[in-house]
Amino acid sequence: MWEVASRAGIWPRFLFPSPTEVLQTLAEGFADRTFVFGVLASLRRIFLGYAISLLLGVLLGLAISRNRLIAETLGSLILGLQTLPSICWLPLALLWFGLNESAIVFVVVMGALLSITSATESGIKNAPPLLIKAGQNMGATGGRLLIEVVVPAALPSILSGMKQGWSFAWRSLMAGELLYGSVGLGNLLTVGRELNDMSQVVAVMLIIVVIGLAADYLVFSRLERTMRRRWGFEAS
C-alpha cells in the first residue's frame, strides 16, 4: 500500500519515499558502514546511560524507602522532577559537561533514573511485611535482608520501572542526538533532513523503532514474563 501510494505520485518523491527506496538506503547505509557506526554510537550511549541510571535509581530508591529524612527531601523533589521531560536537562548538561558525550549520557541517565527510582521505592514500600518478617526470623539482617528479601520482594515493581525507564532513556537519547551533532542515529536523522534525503530519514526512523522494540521484547518483556511465571502471576 505504502509502495502504491508513493508511486501514485500524489506527493513529490523526495517527501514520500517508496519502501524499495528505503530498503535500498538501508542496504547502502549498512554497506558503507554509516548506519553501523550510528547504531553502535547510539547503543554505546544508551547502555552506558542506562546502566548508570539503573544502579543509581535502585540505590536512590533504597535510600528513599529506608530513610525518612531522605524521603522527605529527595522524595518530593523526584516527584516534581518527573514531570520534566528529560531533554530539558540538555542545556544544564551542556553547561556542566560542555558539548560532549557526557552531556548526552547525562540526559539519558536523567531519562531513566526517575522512573527506576520511584518504582524501586514503591516496590519496597509495598513489599509484603510478612515476607520481611520471615526473612528476619530466619536470620537475615541489615544489608543481607535488603538484598535477599526486600529487593526480590520489590522485583515486580522494579522491573516495570526498568521497562518504563528504558523507553524514556531511548527517547531522550534520540532527542539529545537530534540536537547535538555527533555520530549517532539522531544525527543521521538530522543529516537526512539537511540533505533533503527523505528515504534516509525514514530508514533511520525504522532502525530506531526496531531497536526500541527489540530491547522491549528480547530483554524486558522476557524478564517480566520469567518473573511472572516464577511467582505464579500467570500460567506457564
Cβ atoms within 10 Å, residue 127: 20
Question: Among residues 17 and 135, whose Cβ is nearest to another protein?
Answer: 135
Indicate whether 144 belongs to the interface with another protein (CB under 8 A): yes
Indicate whether 95 belongs to the interface with another protein (CB under 8 A): no
Task: Quickly list H helices, the chain.
Answer: 2-7, 19-31, 34-66, 68-70, 76-81, 90-97, 101-125, 129-137, 142-145, 151-179, 185-194, 198-214, 222-231
Question: Among residues 91 and 128, whose Cβ is nearest to another protein?
Answer: 128
Smallest distance, another protein to C-beta of residue 68, A: 20
Indicate whether 153 belongs to the interface with another protein (CB under 8 A): yes
Residue 79 Ramachandran class (φ > 0 left, ψ -120 to 50 alpha, else beta): alpha
Indicate whether 146 belongs to the interface with another protein (CB under 8 A): no
Question: Among residues 100 and 226, whose Cβ is nearest to another protein?
Answer: 226
Smallest distance, another protein to C-beta of residue 141, A: 8
Which of 9, 12, 139, 142 binds another protein (CB under 8 A)? It is 139
The site for another protein (CB under 8 A) is made up of 128, 130-131, 133-140, 144, 148-149, 152-153, 155, 227, 230-232
